């Protein structure tokens, strides 16, 4: 499957952001991409108050924009993430950080709400995403494209967002649920990105024998968000970065995500088959007495 990853520098104006993103989606689709991935908060960036002001429902303008774009190009479009105000709200009035996979017919085929929230004390600033965003509670995988052929695994996308990347458990679970491509739309900070971004993307790929698409915001965002690392990249199941945007500017990264390579790597290094879950004990389970402490 031909894939495209779009790197943006989002501003405070959703209309302008969607217009800029559409130009890059057009470029990716025009180059043959069948799956195009946008970064976290591609449609609006700014302070918590600004995100609240521009939060939308799933039938709001950002999803409608993505639906029209996917249908026009006959692609799968991963609308990286946007601030969602769910129907009926949540109990504490927080939003969700929501990613939508939209199919060629313009229908939303999967919805993922960011599970792990970025509460961190960096040298440059303290960030507390959980003050504005409520955590999601479900992992999501979705088939993309035609059914598998010639004994190859199907293209199944596992959804995640930014800070999720630091937690290996959901990616392993999604691989066991059938994911062969993991997408990581992000606004990874310039403070942590040089040391951690590529390292973690490659680790998730190697651990699970999957393709990983890491799609980042880049540069200086509006006040309320830290500067972002960018370096949008596609990593193959062997852990090789096969395509990357090193320029600190918006643009498109293109690659061919071969399912034959997934099959080959998983045959050579069958780590998923070699798992021994009967030997694994979570410390929390032992403390709660839900498993025997002596294994």
Supply the residues annotated as catalytic. 40, 114, 162
Residue 150's alpha-carbon distances to 56, 147, 242, 272, in angstroms, are: 42, 10, 24, 21
The interaxial angle of helices 61-73 and 14-30, nearest 10 deg, is 20
* Three-state secondary-structure class, residue 64: helix
Determine the Cα–Cα distance for residues 277 and 234; give it in Å rounded to an integer.
Answer: 30
Could you tell me if 210 and 178 are in contact, meaning their C-beta atoms sit under 8 angstroms apart? Answer: no
Residue corresponding to tokens 């800029």: 20
What distance in Å separates the CA atoms of residue 292 and residue 295, rounded to the nearest whole number? 5
Render 257-281 in DSSP notation, one character per residue: --HHHHHHHHHHS-TTTT--GGG--
Rounded Cα distance, 133 and 153, in Å: 35
Q: Give the separation between CA 288 and CA 62, rounded to whole angstroms.
A: 44
Region for 42 from its dihedrals, namely left if φ exceeds 0, alpha if ψ lies in -120 to 50, beta otherwise: alpha
Question: Could you give the CA distance from residue 147 to residue 253 in angstroms, rounded to a whole number?
Answer: 25
Q: Are 14 and 241 in contact (CB under 8 A)?
A: no
As a whole number of angstroms, the distance between CA 2 and CA 258 comes to 8
**Integer CA distances (angstroms), 236 to 77, 81, 188, 242, 277, in order:** 20, 23, 20, 7, 26
């Amino acid at each position: 499957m031909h894939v495209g990853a779009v790197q943006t520098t989002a501003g405070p104006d959703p209309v302008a952001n969607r217009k800029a993103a559409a130009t890059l989606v057009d470029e990716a689709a025009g180059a043959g991409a069948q799956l195009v991935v946008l970064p976290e908060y591609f449609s609006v960036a700014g302070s918590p108050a600004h995100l609240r002001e521009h939060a939308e429902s799933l039938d709001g303008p950002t999803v409608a924009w993505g639906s029209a774009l996917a249908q026009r190009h006959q692609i799968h479009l991963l609308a990286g993430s946007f601030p969602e105000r769910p129907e009926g709200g949540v109990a504490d009035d927080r939003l969700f950080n929501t990613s939508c996979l939209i199919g060629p017919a313009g229908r939303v085929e999967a919805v993922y709400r960011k599970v792990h929230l970025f509460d961190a004390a960096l040298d440059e600033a303290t960030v507390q995403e959980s003050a504005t965003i409520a955590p999601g509670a479900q992992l999501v995988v979705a088939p993309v494209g035609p059914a598998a052929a010639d004994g190859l695994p199907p293209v199944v996308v596992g959804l995640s967002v930014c800070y999720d990347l630091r937690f290996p458990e959901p990616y392993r679970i999604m691989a066991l649920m059938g994911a062969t491509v993991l997408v990581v739309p992000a606004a990874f900070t310039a403070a942590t990105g040089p040391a951690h971004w590529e390292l973690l993307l490659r680790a998730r790929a190697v651990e699970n024998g999957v393709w990983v698409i890491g799609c980042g915001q880049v540069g200086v965002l509006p006040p309320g968000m830290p500067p972002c690392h960018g370096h949008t990249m596609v990593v193959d199941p062997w852990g090789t970065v096969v395509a990357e945007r090193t320029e600190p500017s918006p643009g498109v990264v293109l690659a061919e995500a071969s399912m034959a390579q997934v099959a080959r790597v998983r045959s050579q290094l069958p780590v998923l088959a070699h798992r021994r879950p009967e030997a694994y004990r979570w410390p929390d389970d032992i403390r709660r007495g839900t498993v025997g402490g002596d294994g």
